[in-house]
């Protein structure tokens, strides 16, 4: 059994505009993906107990690069460019999509994908695309229903069950786990840490 990962030791490594500039494809890494306003950077900062690690912004779509953070010598977290929302020029958006696809398809050290969706707006078009792609590639996904503090417990649980039903109807639950998460209330952190430990160690 490997030593548990201490997430608050995470450090920024580098930002890569494309797959060619990524760190060496060795060791293990887990990528965080989601729509531009799903709360990716906030989730990474909450997980690592470091408000300044991943850049958060009131303007969705600020993460335009692949941002790498080291956890140990051979384990990393990756903050992927947000998809589907940002008001940016079309050419830039197409370049992001290409970089995202290149990374997800070619990266050998990628162990799993943490996919974030705002619990009030789950399973939008881009989310389905990402889930279907990952399913076809056999890539495990851990779905984080973020901003769970915005709903009361009953409706939040109902949304979780509905997402499970929708994915089951499409035969997509095989490699997927789901949880609720709130960066604000720090809810769901231990469950997320356990999933990351299982992928990275």
How much is the average pLDDT of 59-84? 83
pLDDT > 70 fraction of the chain, expressed in percent and rounded = 92
Second-level CATH architecture of 7-200: 3-Layer(aba) Sandwich (3.40)
* Residues 6 or more apart whose Cβ sits within 8 Å of residue 14: 21, 23, 67, 68
Answer whether 0.75 is exceeded by the pTM.
yes
Whole-number Å distance between alpha carbons of 80 and 83: 9
How much is the average pLDDT of 59-81? 84
Top pLDDT among 84 and 149 is at: 149
Top pLDDT among 80 and 188 is at: 188
How much is the average pLDDT of 142-153? 97
Whole-angstrom CA distances from 10 to 1, 19, 57, 69, 77 are: 21, 22, 20, 6, 8
Predicted pLDDT of residue 62: 54
Top pLDDT among 133 and 194 is at: 194
Residue 195: is its pLDDT beyond 70? yes
Confidence band of 97 (pLDDT split at 50, 70, 90): confident
Per-domain residue ranges of the chain: 7-200
Predicted pLDDT of residue 165: 98
Q: Is the Cβ–Cβ distance between 32 and 39 less than 8 Å?
A: no
Residue 36: is its pLDDT beyond 60? yes
Residue 133: is its pLDDT beyond 90? no
Confidence band of 159 (pLDDT split at 50, 70, 90): very high
Residue 1: is its pLDDT beyond 70? no
Question: Any idea what the Cα angle at residue 93 is, between residues 75 and 14, rounded to 5°?
Answer: 25
């Amino acid at each position: 059994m490997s030593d548990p990962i201490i997430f608050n030791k995470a450090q920024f490594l580098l930002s890569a505009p494309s797959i060619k500039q990524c760190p060496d494809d060795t060791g293990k890494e887990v990528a965080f993906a989601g729509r531009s306003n799903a709360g990716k950077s906030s989730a990474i900062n909450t997980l690592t107990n470091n408000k300044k690690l991943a850049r958060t912004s009131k303007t969705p779509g600020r993460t335009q690069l692949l941002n790498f953070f080291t956890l140990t010598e051979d384990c990393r977290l990756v903050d992927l460019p947000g998809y589907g929302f940002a008001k940016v020029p079309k050419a830039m958006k197409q370049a992001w999509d290409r970089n995202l696809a290149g990374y997800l398809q070619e990266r050998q050290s990628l162990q799993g994908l943490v996919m974030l969706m705002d619990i009030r707006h789950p399973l939008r078009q881009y989310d389905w695309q990402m889930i279907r792609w990952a399913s076809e590639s056999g890539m495990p996904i851990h779905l984080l229903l973020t901003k769970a503090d915005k709903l009361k417990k009953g409706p939040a649980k109902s949304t979780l069950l509905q997402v499970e039903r929708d994915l089951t109807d499409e035969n997509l639950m095989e490699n997927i786990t789901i949880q609720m998460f709130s960066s604000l209330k720090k809810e769901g952190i231990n469950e997320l840490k356990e999933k990351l430990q299982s992928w990275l160690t």
